[in-house]
Structure formats: C-alpha cells, structure tokens
A and B are shown apart, each in its own frame.
Chain A
Amino acid sequence: MNILKEAKALLKHNIRDYGMYIALLVIMLIFTVMTNGLFMSSRNISNLIDSAGYIAVLAVGVMLVIVIRHIDLSIGFLAGFLGAIAAILLVQVGLPVYLVIPIILLLGMAAGSITGFLVAKVGIPAFVATLAGWLIYRGALLQATEKSGTINVDNEAFNAIGNGYIPSLAQIGGLHLLSLLLGTAAIIYYIYSAMKNRKNKMRYNFEVVSAPLFIIQLVLVSFLMGYVTWILAGYNGFSWTMIIILLVLIVYHFITTKTVLGRHIYAVGSNPEAAHLSGINVSKITFIVFGSMGMLSALSGILFTSRLQSATTTAGTLFELDAIAAAFVGGVSAAGGVGKVTGAVIGAVVMATLVNGMNLLGVGIASQYMIRGGVLALAVIFDVMTRRQRA
C-alpha cells in the first residue's frame, strides 16, 4: 500500500522524465502488438538504433545550444557537407580512415567556432547567423558533389561505422558474447552507481526513495537493459553506431552533470546576466557549446555517410529540424537553462521509433509527418502542463 502511494508521488514529482520513458515504452508496445512482434525483433531494433544515430548526436548538441538560449539551423547541411568532405578525403585523396575522422571532427569544431564567434563576439542573433550557415553549407555541399554527383565510399572500415557490429569473440547459444559481456557490465555499473548515489544522499539526510521501491526500480531498469542486450545479442550484437551513441551519451552526460563546465553552461542558460556577474565568461561558454555542436555535426555527417556508404547531394536535408524536434521531445526548455542529455537521446529514439514502426505498418509518408508533428506538439504541451503544475 505504502509503496504504491510512494510510487505515485514519485511519478507525480518526476512526471516529465518518467513520462518520456513511459511514452516510449507504450509506443514500442503498440508497434509490437500491431506488427505481431516484428517490431521487437532483434534485426529491427538493431536497425532502429542505427537509424536514430545521426539524429541523436545532433540532438545532444542542439539541446545544449537551446539550453544557452540559442538555436543552430546550420547543423544539417554542415553534417551533409562534412560527410561529403569525408567521402572526398577517403575516395579521391585516398587518406586513411584514422586520419579522415579526426580531420572531419576538427573541421566541424572549427565551423562551430565560427558560428560561436558570430553569436558571442559579434552579437548576431543565432537564428540569423546559423540561417546564413544553412545557406552556405548547402551551397558548399552542392559544390563538393557537383562534379561527381553522389560519391560512393568503398572503404570497409569507414562503412562499418554505420553498418558494422562489434566483434563477437564467440557465440554462446547463438548469442553475441561481447555484447552480452558489455550489457552485463553496464547493468552491474548501473546498480553499483545507483546504490552509491543513494548511500551518499542518505549520508546527507536527503530524501531518498524507500528501500523496496528502490529495489523495484533497480530490478526494472536492469531488466530493461538486459532485455535490450539480449535482443541485440540475438542478431549481430551491438553495432558501432550504438557504441558511438552510447559514448556520446556518457561523455556528454558526465560533462553536463559532473563538471564545472556543465555547471557553467546551465548557469549561462538559466540567467546570462547573473552568470556574467558570477565571474563566468559567457562568450567562452557560447564558443564551447557551438564548437561542440560543430563537432557533433561532423560526427553526424560521418555516421550518415557511412550508413549510406556514399555522400549524396542532399545529405543532411532537414536534419536540423529533426534534431531540434528530438531535443524538445526530450524535454529541453526554450526559455533556457533546462534540458538533459539523456532526454535528447531518448527524444531522438522516440522519433526514430515512430518512423520505424510506421514504416513497418506501411503508414503513408503524409500521415507519418502529421503523426510525428502531433507527437512533438503533445510532448511540448505535456511539458508546459507539468511545469505549470509544479510551479
């Protein structure tokens, strides 16, 4: 009885975070039922994650840009353009993959810094500065692919990023061993850190959930992690794309929650004047956030080019809006200062799930757009309502 009551209160208090996970589960469940289980098949989930990758990394970057009260429209074509440059460097110049990737990431960072300079130092509104970037990178992409049209990439190592899987080491009962090991390690780490966190909070007499509820929570999350691992291990195991998303997720989650830089980013987003008067260099933070955005755009370009195994003339079209939508579904606030890395990634997964499930069901493209628009609107309405309720 008491646990139920507590769970209810907890749910009510964290409705925004939990709501998103619950919505994702419900959407997945509906698709699973409607496709007679096809949706939850190993192959499809693996495919879904790979198709979410290049939007998810953009969503993480743009979430931070929105947190500091700016916007970046140039990221889609920047990703497309840098993807084309990657293809050119690989195919036409003949550079090895291990050089191409860092070069592209650095180029992305440089491009982002230019935006950062325009916004932070020159004082141009981000919307306008990045709209200019949108036009410029679109033109640059066309120019880069003008002579050859689509550039096919035949580099196996590069193509593995978007299509390949981590080595299995061995198959156990038809399951991918390394993936199982990684999944188990992740579960153990999750349980360990959750328990440490709880202990810490108790030491400072902070409110914590009661022991039974905590255990239920642990079991539930561990089960979900285990289930996903098991599903993926049943096919080809974890894909490289998934590993890259997880890395981005872990690194950015760490930066935003544990570091001084993260605190400064949220401070600037929450109140730029106060941040300045607190001794924070607001333009430096703006630079860093846009620089990181550029780098993640480059990563997105690499993921997309690799997945298609080619650079096309229209690569990156509307990625920026998909990423912004994912960030908003993930709970970022347009007023600044509020947003989570996990939210952005889940937001991207929600949107990819919708596309994937509707494709399986054979829903027409016209309805797909409208349904995705509806979900975005619903997420933001839900956001506004829950925020009002708590205020």
Chain B
Amino acid sequence: MSGTILEMKKISKEFTGVKALSNVNFKVEKGEIHCLVGENGAGKSTLMKVLSGVYPYGEYAGDILYLNEVQQFHTISDSVEAGIAIIYQELALFPDLSIYENIFAGNELHRKGIVNWNEAIMKSKELLNKVNLHINPETLIKEISVGKQQLVEIAKALSKKVKLLILDEPTAALNDKDSENLLQLLRELKKQGITSIMISHKLNEVIAIADKATVLRDGETICTLDASKGEITEAAIIKNMVGRDIEDIYPKRNVPATGEKLLELLDWTAHDPRTGRNVAENINLHVNYGEIVGVAGLMGAGRTELALSIFGNSRKYKTSGTIRMDGKPVKLSHTSDAIKSGIAYVTEDRKGDGLFLLQDIKSNISISNLSQLSSYGVVNENEEIKTAEEYRKSLGVKTPSIQQKVGNLSGGNQQKVSIGKWLFVGPKLLILDEPTRGIDVGAKLEIYTVMNKLIESGMSIIMLSSELGEVLGMSDRVYVMAKGQIKGELSSSEASQEKIMEFATQ
C-alpha cells in the first residue's frame, strides 16, 4: 500500500478575473487520510471540484495524475467511474426516498430498465454494515439523523467501488459523538485500502485523524504537514492558514455581568402538535445583563427549538410557562412581538432562513428595522445607505460595496451581515444559533470579537453551540440541554468538556 494515488500539478483556475487557484500542487499517497485545510475562500472546495470534474478538463490549467495517468475528466460521472467519490457538505440525498433507493439512485441495479429492488435492499444491507449503520434500509432518509445520513452518503460512495473518497466538511453538522463515529469509520476504510481526502475546519479532528495535512491559503499551497514527523499541531495549522500567529482565539472581555436579570424562563414547555412530543420541557433559565450564556448539547437536544419557541413561537408550538423580560411577563406570539420586546435571533442556517441571498447587503441589513428608516411608510434610501455603510465598516464585512448581493459573500461575511441586521434593530438580548458554523478561524475570531463588543455595549447574548471549545471559551455560564430538558447549569469556572458531555449524554 504505497505509491502515489493522486498528484495535482500546478492547478490554476480563474473565475472571470478572480484567481481562485494558482499553481496549486497537491499530492496524496495511497491509503492515507489527507486533510485539506484553509480559510474559507482559500480554494479547498474549488480544488476538489477540479478533481471531480465539476469544472471539466480544459477549464483549468495544470495536470491531474491519478493512478499514474493524466486524467481528463469532462463530467462528474467520468471521475466517479475512475473511483473518485465526493461527498458534499450539503448532503445530496432525497429525504422522501428510502435508504436503499438513495444508495442506488442514478446507479440502479436493473436489467433492461426493470429495477431489481430486492437485490438493492440486500446489497444496501451489506453496505450499511460496512459503515457500521445497523438500521433497516427501507427507512426513509428524513427519519434518520444527519449523522446517519452522512453514513448513508458514504455507503453510496462505497457502492460505486470508490478508491478515493473526498469529504467536504463531513462533520460540520454533526455532534461530537457522530463525528467521532465518522472518524472511526474513515480509519476502518483506510485499513480496507480506501484513500480519503477530508476538508475540515475542525482542527482537533484534523489532528486526530490526518496522516498528512495540506494547507491552502488564497488559492496557493502553503505546505503539507506530516503526522509521522509530528508536524500536525494546532499552532502549526493555524499559523499556516492565516499567515500569522493567533495566541488566543477566544478573546477576553473585561466587563463583569451585573447580576440583574434580563430574561427569565419559568417552567417553559413547548409542545409540537405535529409529532406529539415536547421539544422543550420545564425549562427554567435566566440571562443576566452583560452575560454570554452558552447553551450546549448534542444535535437534536432541542436548543434551536427552544430558541424558536421563545422568539415569537415561529414553529407554532403549544407553549406553557412564563417568559419574563426585565421582570415583566411578556407574550410573544409573533417574531415581531419578540423583536419589540428586545429579542433577536440569528439563525443557524443563514442561507436557508437567515438571509435574502438575491438581495444586496443594504436591504439585508435594513429589513428588520425599516420603520426607523422611513416616514409614512416610505423608505429614506439615503439614510438606509448610511446605516448599511456604518455596519459594514464596524463589522468589517469584506466587500467592495453594500450593493453586493449577499449570495456572493463568503460564509464569514454573510454571518456578519446577519448579525449586522440585528444590531441595527438594537436588541437587549441576542440569541446566536451556531454563530460560527462553517466559518474559518480568522472569521471566527472576528465574530467573537464582535460578541465581546456587544456585551460591552450592554447587550446580553445566548449562544447555542455544538462546538464545545467555543462554549467554554466564550460563555459566562453554560446550560446543557438533552432531550428538550436542561440537564445542568455550570459556571465558567466549573465548566469543562467532560462535565458538559456528562450532562449532554444523560
């Protein structure tokens, strides 16, 4: 099991004037797990798209040597045929179809157009066993968790006799336990001779699993680190990614919380009539002025559901219990009520339900507080431009103009716009749901800095997060949720990864 499986030589790719990749060299040995790291926009995904034929031969410069032959992939199916499978961050599964139908979608086991479903089910079982997923292949995709869906994707890749498996941020949407399972699976696949390339932002995973790690920055190869030489360390990766040292990615703030209660939830229960379950049960929590309260928990613990039940009950749950703002009970039956009471919510899925991707930065920032920019219902565009400019500057959104469409911004800049929109509303309490998901290290630091500034300006923050490091690094107090309930409360001095996981797995 030695020799080079893939060598990409001097790959360059340009998008109408913007160099996405310039002379990138990337070499992968047979049977290794090779991580590809770099900030957002560094060119990782573009490089993988070149490899998999999304950008066909001829649209890029340079050579792809795969199994010692120069390859010319014109379509994705060319690369699939050669044994290269790519699994994207956004899973490409059909939620209303079963697992086995998904595994063989586009690759049906058929004779003269007639599909042999029984064989498909049988083969699916074998494949699922290979990825340690022991469930009935007839289960619908929408009924299983994201972590299991990820495994189905891998099973699908295995069904195509994959030699080189590419995973684009496979653990971004997974909780720690599912992530660990996935990494374990990659190790097992490695034993079976499958080479993997993994794009990841989670450095601890890279350190845990990578045999080699190649760092890209601004479309160029910076270096390839080798685990056998002990080169893969957090400091080394970060340094090469950002081109500077980051001493502490969790900046300190110097404002003590006041102890005055801003928000209180008393016996708060939200019942989902569609599933007949309580998504949040007997929640008692409070947020003080000047505090960042972390809410930790595994995927499906009910954090987002809790936040949405407070924020204007967006999912139409049946709720009971009391919400108090500044000691006074409030009734929040629509998002606009919540906003009026001083609560804002930055969603975890900024592309899906946070931003208006087709509209420009200006319109995205002003949308929740147009009344302040208008008289008699007519928007004062000059004021709007001024306001948007202010937030663009203060949040450091990297863009030539506020007329830029939000859909064209990078993840970090999009997140800044979503936060900017709420800062303009001026809430007392900002609920941040996974504030740094899918964002690179540099942009994360910027988001944390913004959070601290907000606290200094008198705001309070609830941060829902699956990243333990961030919960520990940023919170004054931590609540841990599991199964819709609060299982524990920890002060920042008490909180540790182990304690949080202990509560979270109760």
- Closest chain-B Cβ to A176's Cβ sits at a distance in Å of 34
> A274 with B353: in contact, given A206-B401, A259-B378, A260-B377 (CB under 8 Å)?
yes
Nearest residue (CB) in A for B308 is: A277
B359 touches A (CB below 8 Å): yes
| Interface SS of A by simple majority | helix
| In the A-B complex, the 8 residue pairs with the closest CB atoms | A273-B353, A279-B336, A279-B339, A270-B356, A260-B370, A278-B368, A279-B335, A259-B377
A210 touches B (CB below 8 Å): no
> A270 with B359: in contact, given A276-B335, A278-B335 (CB under 8 Å)?
yes
Cα A266 to Cα B385 with chains together (Å): 18
* A255-308 contacts to B (CB < 8 Å): 258-261, 263-264, 266-267, 270-271, 273-281
Cα A273 to Cα B370 with chains together (Å): 18
A234 touches B (CB below 8 Å): no
Contact B358 A337 (CB under 8 A): yes
Select one of B314, B347, B358, B366 contacting A338, CB under 8 A. Answer: B358
Contacts of B84 in A (CB 8 A): none
- Type the 1/0 row for B300-334, where 1 means its CB is closer than 8 Å to any CB of A: 00000000000110100000000000000000001
A204 touches B (CB below 8 Å): yes
Contacts of B382 in A (CB 8 A): 200, 204
Q: What number of A residues sit within 8 Å (CB to CB) of B? A: 25
Contacts of B356 in A (CB 8 A): 266-267, 270-271, 274-275, 337
Select one of B336, B367, B374 contacting A267, CB under 8 A. Answer: B367
- Closest chain-B Cβ to A288's Cβ sits at a distance in Å of 12
Contacts of B366 in A (CB 8 A): 263
Cα A200 to Cα B386 with chains together (Å): 12
Cα A104 to Cα B356 with chains together (Å): 37
Nearest residue (CB) in A for B373 is: A260
Contacts of B377 in A (CB 8 A): 259-261
- Closest chain-B Cβ to A273's Cβ sits at a distance in Å of 3
Nearest residue (CB) in A for B408 is: A391
Contact B314 A276 (CB under 8 A): yes
Nearest residue (CB) in B for A273 is: B353
17 further A-B pairs in the complex, CB-CB below 8 A; given A260-B379, A261-B377, A264-B367: A204-B389, A258-B381, A259-B374, A259-B378, A260-B371, A260-B374, A263-B379, A264-B370, A267-B363, A274-B352, A275-B356, A276-B335, A277-B314, A277-B347, A279-B338, A279-B368, A337-B358
Contacts of B385 in A (CB 8 A): 204
- Closest chain-A Cβ to B43's Cβ sits at a distance in Å of 20
Contact A271 B401 (CB under 8 A): no
Contact B379 A258 (CB under 8 A): yes
- Closest chain-B Cβ to A193's Cβ sits at a distance in Å of 13
- 26 A-B pairs within 8 Å (CB atoms) are namely A258-B381, A259-B374, A260-B371, A260-B374, A260-B377, A263-B379, A264-B367, A267-B356, A267-B367, A271-B355, A273-B352, A273-B353, A274-B356, A276-B353, A277-B311, A277-B314, A277-B345, A278-B335, A278-B367, A279-B312, A279-B334, A279-B335, A279-B338, A280-B367, A281-B334, A337-B359
Select one of A204, A277, A281 contacting B353, CB under 8 A. Answer: A277
* A204-231 contacts to B (CB < 8 Å): 204, 206-207
Chain B contact residues, CB within 8 Å of chain A: 311-312, 314, 334-336, 338-339, 345, 347, 352-359, 363, 366-368, 370-371, 374, 377-379, 381-382, 385, 389, 401, 403, 421
Cα A206 to Cα B401 with chains together (Å): 8
- Closest chain-B Cβ to A204's Cβ sits at a distance in Å of 5
Contacts of A275 in B (CB 8 A): 356, 367
Contacts of A277 in B (CB 8 A): 311, 314, 335, 345, 347, 353-354
Cα A385 to Cα B16 with chains together (Å): 17
* A171-209 contacts to B (CB < 8 Å): 200, 204, 206-207
- Closest chain-A Cβ to B152's Cβ sits at a distance in Å of 26
Contacts of B421 in A (CB 8 A): 278
Cα A190 to Cα B378 with chains together (Å): 20
Contact B378 A274 (CB under 8 A): no
Nearest residue (CB) in A for B389 is: A204
Nearest residue (CB) in A for B349 is: A273
- Closest chain-B Cβ to A277's Cβ sits at a distance in Å of 6
> A263 with B367: in contact, given A206-B401, A273-B353 (CB under 8 Å)?
yes
- Type the 1/0 row for A334-345, where 1 means its CB is closer than 8 Å to any CB of B: 000110000000
Nearest residue (CB) in A for B371 is: A260
Contacts of B354 in A (CB 8 A): 274, 277
Nearest residue (CB) in A for B344 is: A279
Cα A7 to Cα B391 with chains together (Å): 33
- Closest chain-B Cβ to A211's Cβ sits at a distance in Å of 21
Cα A271 to Cα B367 with chains together (Å): 12
Contacts of B363 in A (CB 8 A): 263, 266-267
Contact B370 A274 (CB under 8 A): no
Contacts of A271 in B (CB 8 A): 353, 355-357
Cα A264 to Cα B353 with chains together (Å): 15
Cα A279 to Cα B424 with chains together (Å): 13
Contacts of B334 in A (CB 8 A): 279, 281
**Which interface residue of B339, B353, B366 has the most chain A CB atoms within 10 A?**
B353
Cα A267 to Cα B268 with chains together (Å): 32
Contacts of A260 in B (CB 8 A): 370-371, 374, 377-379
**Which interface residue of A266, A279, A280, A281 has the most chain B CB atoms within 10 A?**
A279
- Closest chain-B Cβ to A272's Cβ sits at a distance in Å of 9
Nearest residue (CB) in B for A205 is: B401
- Closest chain-B Cβ to A38's Cβ sits at a distance in Å of 43
Nearest residue (CB) in A for B374 is: A260
Cα A278 to Cα B421 with chains together (Å): 9
- Closest chain-A Cβ to B44's Cβ sits at a distance in Å of 21
Cα A252 to Cα B447 with chains together (Å): 40
Cα A30 to Cα B356 with chains together (Å): 41
**Which interface residue of A260, A266, A281, A337 has the most chain B CB atoms within 10 A?**
A260
Cα A118 to Cα B359 with chains together (Å): 29
- Type the 1/0 row for A20-44, where 1 means its CB is closer than 8 Å to any CB of B: 0000000000000000000000000
- Closest chain-A Cβ to B112's Cβ sits at a distance in Å of 36
Contacts of B379 in A (CB 8 A): 258-260, 263
- Closest chain-A Cβ to B478's Cβ sits at a distance in Å of 25
